[in-house]
Amino acid sequence: MSDFASRIERARMSLDDRALDALCLSVGSDLPYLTGYRAMPLERLTMLVLPAQGQGVLVVPALEAPRIDTSDGLYEVRPWAETEDPVAIVSDLLGPSTHVAVGDETWARFVLALQASDDRRAWVSAEPLMRELRTIKSASEVAALRAAARTVDGVVDQMAEVQFSGRTERDVAREFADRTLADGHEEVLFAIVASGENGASPHHEPTDRIIRHGDAVVVDFGGHQADYSSDTTRMFVVGESPYGFDDAYEVLRTAQAAATAHVRPGVTAASVDAVARDIITEAGYGDLFVHRVGHGIGMDTHEHPYLVEGNDQELSTGMTFSIEPGIYVPEEWGMRLEDIVTVTDTGVEPLNRSDRGIRYVS
């Protein structure tokens, strides 16, 4: 059975377990996870209608239909012409279904129209069901994440040989993105280059600030390769580190390594955050670590599980997530160190392997 066939089968079983009659998926990663087809985020509706029993039907704008590969016969395709009403088509396909799960990224205008189309139907979020399917990665998904990680690791190594000083953040960010695309990514979704005081803003957008001697530069970038995400952060320093930076970086590295070593099946998501946070707090930087330690990653850059205080979900083999503690001193500098890891039967495998030390550049 192909990956897609077994995923569709598991989705059907999960519908059944939850006493749901059908699943409706539109834009976002749930649809390509089940079918390999990613819908254009357009005003024209694309929707897979998958009943708990029987054949699924993918309702698509006629002009998108040629992009769909139907060779494996996992679902039918129902192209709709410009003058047809796709909401009516979906509603007809749902027939007698009364309990329907809808993908949580579906546009509100379509959800509202579907709800209005037949008031006997109850609509619930498909998020819990899809989360259950997508959180545990198969060996081929982990391999795809590993390959994406290798690409960005290589770019970090290349950029350690490049001059930063005298260039804008925007210019350096563009070079990270260009090299990432050249080395195998289909798209780069973000390239944070945050120099000097800008580093204190975790999700800083690159600006025209000119990078200079003595700047610490947070570089956090990633994108998609074969539909799976990369996301890594490494620290670059131009010439010499700013005051207090190196001591804090030792703490950060120790915290990141300890949190990584803690990962194995059965520990909670929250405990990974706590391991890193305790070390950073003990060293006196606790107030400066202002975000959770990590997020799941797969087809989406941010997905379940979230490694955050209060999430008592236990980790299992095949989960994949980031471990990315940070320390941010307002108006001075910031630092973060980020790897993607996967939970194995006996512990953890980091997918990012590039050197975790500070990269000194000119």
When binding is defined by CB under 5 A, the residue of 320, 322, 342, 352 that contacts Zn ion is 322
Type of residue numbered 350: P
Interface region with Zn ion, contact rule CB under 5 A, candidates 43-51, 205-213, 246-254, 319-327: 319-327
When binding is defined by CB under 5 A, the residue of 21, 64, 197, 231 that contacts Zn ion is 231
Shortest distance (Å) from residue 220 CB to Zn ion:
4
Q: Where are the alpha helices (DSSP H) in 67-188?
A: 86-94, 108-117, 127-135, 139-159, 169-182
Interface region with Zn ion, contact rule CB under 5 A, candidates 43-51, 134-142, 205-213, 314-322: 314-322
Tokens of 130: 């899809």
Tokens of 9: 């089968």
Shortest distance (Å) from residue 202 CB to Zn ion:
6
Interface region with Zn ion, contact rule CB under 5 A, candidates 115-123, 126-134, 209-217, 320-328: 320-328
Shortest distance (Å) from residue 98 CB to Zn ion:
40
3-state SS class at 185: coil
Restricting to residues 134-163, which ones interact with Zn ion according to CB under 5 A?
Answer: none
β-strand partners of 341: 321, 350
- Decide whether 49 or 299 has the Cβ nearer to Zn ion: 299
Shortest distance (Å) from residue 240 CB to Zn ion:
25
Shortest distance (Å) from residue 297 CB to Zn ion:
7
Restricting to residues 329-348, which ones interact with Zn ion according to CB under 5 A?
Answer: 338
Listed in order, strand segments (DSSP E) in 270-325 are 294-296, 303-307, 320-323
Shortest distance (Å) from residue 222 CB to Zn ion:
6
When binding is defined by CB under 5 A, the residue of 64, 105, 141, 220 that contacts Zn ion is 220
β-strand partners of 228: 225
Cα 49 to Cα 10, 77, 309: the distances in Å are: 15, 10, 37
The count of residues interacting with Zn ion (CB under 5 A) is 4
CA 229 – CA 137 distance, rounded (Å): 13
Shortest distance (Å) from residue 234 CB to Zn ion:
10
CA 329 – CA 196 distance, rounded (Å): 10
- Helix 269-282 with 245-262: angle, nearest 10 deg: 150
- Decide whether 197 or 231 has the Cβ nearer to Zn ion: 231
- Decide whether 215 or 220 has the Cβ nearer to Zn ion: 220
User: Could you say which DSSP state residue 148 is in?
Assistant: H
User: Could you say which DSSP state residue 287 is in?
Assistant: G
- Decide whether 7 or 137 has the Cβ nearer to Zn ion: 137
- Decide whether 141 or 231 has the Cβ nearer to Zn ion: 231
- Decide whether 58 or 159 has the Cβ nearer to Zn ion: 159
Q: Using CA of residue 263, residue 267, residue 269, residue 272, what is the dihedral sign? A: negative
Instruction: Summarize as ranges the residues that interact with Zn ion (CB under 5 A).
Output: 220, 231, 322, 338
